[in-house]
Structure 1
Amino acid sequence: MYKKNAVITAESGLHTRPAAQFVKQAKQYAEDVEIVSKGKTATAKNLFKLQTLQLVKGTEVTVQSANKQAVDELASFLEKVTG
């Protein structure tokens, strides 16, 4: 499994609109993609599950999947989302 750390940089954290975009991007991959934060794990393909992680600004997360491209792209998304 490939893993990459990312830090949420958006002032508002990963709120509903960017979280929905993130989920849409994650669903492009056949492999499972998971987000790990503060000991909790959620699938990146389910908006409700993702929001249970409370991804506020400054939160460090780990993106993990068997698909390296998915991990790289989604980790980058989390660090670049502005709003």
Structure 2
Amino acid sequence: MITKTVKLTNEDGLHARSAALFVRMANRFSSEITLQAHGDSVNGKSIIGIMSLGAFYGEEISITASGTDEEKAVESLVELVENNFVVAN
């Protein structure tokens, strides 16, 4: 199991678009992925769960993955957040 904490620096935080991008990337991995904010944990592959966290600009979120590709999953998701949910083609 690997966990990393990252700060939301995109203006809108985890709103619909960013949550959708997070879920799309999370679903590329076989590991179980959990997202935590404000002491609440949700399935990182659930858009409804992520949006229910209400994580906004400037707040920290923790990304945890457990499974065969956990390291790559956390690395990729942290990079997505740090790049303000801009996905390279």
* TM-score interval, smaller chain: over 0.9
Q: Which has the higher contact order (CA 8 A, sep 6+)?
A: 1
- Say which SS state the counterpart of residue 57 (structure 2) adopts: coil
| Residues 5-40 of structure 1 deviation map (CA, whole Å, 9 limit, x = unaligned) | 100001111211121011000001111100111110
Runs of 4+ in 1 over 3 A off after TM superposition: none
Q: In the alignment, is the contact (CA less than 8 A) between 1:23 and 1:44 conserved in 2?
A: yes
The alignment covers a number of residue pairs equal to 83
Q: Is the 8 A contact 2:21 2:85 kept in 1?
A: no
Matching of residues 47-66 of structure 1 within 5 Å: 47-66=47-66
RMSD across aligned positions (CA) = 1.3
CA contact 1:9–1:82 (8 Å) conserved in 2: no
Gaps of 5+ in 1: none
Give the structure-1-normalised TM-score: 0.92
Once the two structures are superposed, the pairs formed by residues 1-83 of structure 1 within 5 Å of their partners are 1-66=1-66, 67-81=70-84
Report the CA distance shift for 1:41/1:25 in structure 2 as closer, same or farther (over 3 A): same
Is residue 32–residue 65 contact of structure 1 (8 Å, CA) maintained in 2? yes
Shift of 1:49: 0.4
Unaligned stretches of 5+ residues in structure 2:
none
Within 1, Cα distance between the matches of 2:6 and 2:35? 10
Q: Percent identity?
A: 27
